[in-house]
Amino acid sequence: MRSTMMDQPLLISSIIRHAAACHGSTEIVSRVSDGSLHRTNYAEVYERSAKLANALISWGLQSANRVGTLGWNDHRHLEIYYGVSGAGFVCHTINPRLFADQIVYIVNHANDRVLFVDPSFVGLVAGVRERLHSVERVIVMSSANTMPPEAIAAGFECYEEVVAAHNSMFDWPRLDENDAAGLCYTSGTTGDPKGVLYSHRSTVLHALAICTPDVFNLGEGTTVMPVVPMFHVNGWGLPHAAPMVGARLVLPGQKLDAASLYWLTTTEKVTFTAGVPTVWGSLLDWIDENSADIAPLQCVAIGGAACPQIMAERFHKLGVDVIHAWGMTETSPVGLTNRCPASAPTALEGMTHPNQRLKQGKPLFGVETRIVDDNDGPVVHDGTASGRLQVRGPWIASTYFNFPSAQTDGANDGWFETGDIATIEEVGTVEIVDRAKDVIKSGGEWISSVTLENAAMSHSDVYEAAAVARDDERWGERPVLFVVLRPGSTPSKEGLLSHLGTRVARWWIPDEIHFVDELPHTATGKVVKATLRSRLKQ
């Protein structure tokens, strides 16, 4: 027997319609390509998204056609988010920090018909334009008077002229909620990038989940600044979650240096922000150097890589709560969160203990987790035994876009193989021990590179650290540590080894420490350990 409830699909267009109807005057502040601040609101974004949708229809796009973007976090990118997916097309956000050849591969693999680009990427696109076989038109996200001469010479169109030429009346189609709405490619560190295709349903459910109190706790009184770029996994869902609850949005554009982020945070009264650890390390250093206060910031979500204990402690000293988040492109991305208040009440058992703060946390409702051994057998959830972490849920990928099934390594009996090694407590709390490919196996025992790196970064002179394995005839593998020191610090292998000796088991202590000027990072800020391992072999 079916229920008597209305059959209303969960659609991305319903988010911006709701925001315009109920939070229309709520401000959206964004830094645009010329460095100035632009102010708009949800009602205007809704209207301009409708104009953009009319433009796409007039260009002859068909249902599920892909529309690419190479843009920073600003109001025009937000309009594209809603205009493209709401009209029944797929918004394909592309990471501009990738190599040109990777971008060409991704655009051609996705078969993008239209490409929206920020003015700062015009040179990049103009240089590869002839290799983008499926792209019919390129639109520069700028006004007519700020169009780069190179864009005009290349025949690229102006975004503001496109929007102005179309009507704001648009009949948003009633789509199937399982239709594709967004597309994002993995970083491709182990082969060609793979596309993850998000649905309207998965996107809306993910946005609802991250708004909840024990996740990001977003509401009408929140001012949200997504530092995580909108070109990466839908900006961690914040461009969908903020309008859903009427939160004020501050979009930082391309100026992500510490001074610019601090100025935006304090002048625009940001209360919630989210980004990767490398961004927050620079901001915290700037605050220390300038004896500054970060008020009114209340909470920061840290993901993309493990949050070092020292980073959480530095935020707590500023009175800022930390949310340790875990996820992947394939998980939309938020799958686990560990909310670590600056002043944890005693009711949160064990949350004041540093080890608990470093754990990735509990699954959001809708996400299930399990760990398995090398034979795919179940591993007990006792917080000690570790195994391969697998997840499943309504916003978890089951396969990759346009990838031969034989090459798809995502799904395993209905579960997604994350590539992480983890423990799970009886109450569901997950701790990522390491990436499966990064764990160090010495004398038959595992050494967690993540734990070793956190121990190193708790030293006052260490800015960043990465642990990798080198081959060893006796032990199989032994850990090697690459360390970036803070400015003005003097390298001291003995001092760092002594520090580690009080924090990890004796047999975990690395045989080698290499002090380097910087570590190699992916386009999304993760350390490329394959490059470090290659350096060791050389």
Say if CB 497 and CB 513 are below 8 A apart.
yes
DSSP 98-136: S-HHHHHHHHHHHT-SEEEE-GGGHHHHHHHGGG-TT--
401: its two tokens: 């876009």
- The domain 12-198: what is its CATH number? 3.40.50.12780
Q: How far is CA 266 from the centre of its chain?
A: 23
The highest-level CATH class for domain 440-537 is alpha beta
Catalytic residue chosen out of the listed positions 286, 368, 399, 446:
446
15 three-state secondary structure: helix
Say if CB 80 and CB 16 are below 8 A apart.
no
State pTM to two decimals. 0.88
Element (H, E) at 210: helix 200-210
List the chain domain ranges. Answer: 12-198, 362-435, 440-537
Tens-digit pLDDT profile for residues 245-292? 999 999 999 999 999 999 999 999 999 999 988 899 999 999 999 999
Tens-digit pLDDT profile for residues 18-32? 999 999 999 999 999
Beta bridge partners of 479: 469
Tens-digit pLDDT profile for residues 115-152? 999 999 999 999 999 999 999 999 999 999 999 999 99
402 three-state secondary structure: coil
How confident is the model at residue 448, as a pLDDT? 86
Binned at pLDDT 50, 70 and 90, residue 350 comes out as very low
Binned at pLDDT 50, 70 and 90, residue 352 comes out as very low
15: its two tokens: 């988010």
pLDDT above 60 for 434: yes
Phi, psi of 285 (to 5 degrees): -65, -40
How confident is the model at residue 361, as a pLDDT? 95
The C-alpha atoms of residue 173 and residue 48 are separated, in whole angstroms, by 17
Across the range 293-298, mean pLDDT stands at 96
242: its two tokens: 């903020």
How confident is the model at residue 345, as a pLDDT? 46
pLDDT above 50 for 354: yes
Catalytic residue chosen out of the listed positions 160, 330, 431, 464:
330
Pick the CATH number of 362-435 from 3.30.460.40, 2.30.38.10, 3.40.50.2000, 2.60.200.20: 2.30.38.10
Q: How far is CA 537 from the centre of its chain?
A: 32
Catalytic residue chosen out of the listed positions 136, 289, 441, 445:
441
pLDDT above 70 for 407: no
* Percent over 70 (pLDDT), the chain: 95
Binned at pLDDT 50, 70 and 90, residue 406 comes out as very low
The C-alpha atoms of residue 266 and residue 268 are separated, in whole angstroms, by 6
The C-alpha atoms of residue 292 and residue 265 are separated, in whole angstroms, by 12
Catalytic residue chosen out of the listed positions 186, 203, 429, 524:
186
369 is annotated as an active-site residue: no
441 is annotated as an active-site residue: yes
425 is annotated as an active-site residue: no
How confident is the model at residue 534, as a pLDDT? 87
468 three-state secondary structure: strand
pLDDT above 70 for 410: no
How confident is the model at residue 349, as a pLDDT? 43
pLDDT above 90 for 222: yes
Neighbours of 18 (CB within 10 A): 16
The C-alpha atoms of residue 483 and residue 102 are separated, in whole angstroms, by 29
Query: How wide is the angle at C-alpha 281 spanned by C-alphas 279 and 287, nearest 5°?
Result: 105
Q: Give the orientation angle of helix 12-23 with respect to helix 238-245, to 10 degrees.
A: 40
Across the range 213-217, mean pLDDT stands at 96
How confident is the model at residue 405, as a pLDDT? 60
Picking from 50-64, 300-314, 399-413, which range would have the lowest pLDDT averaged per residue? 399-413
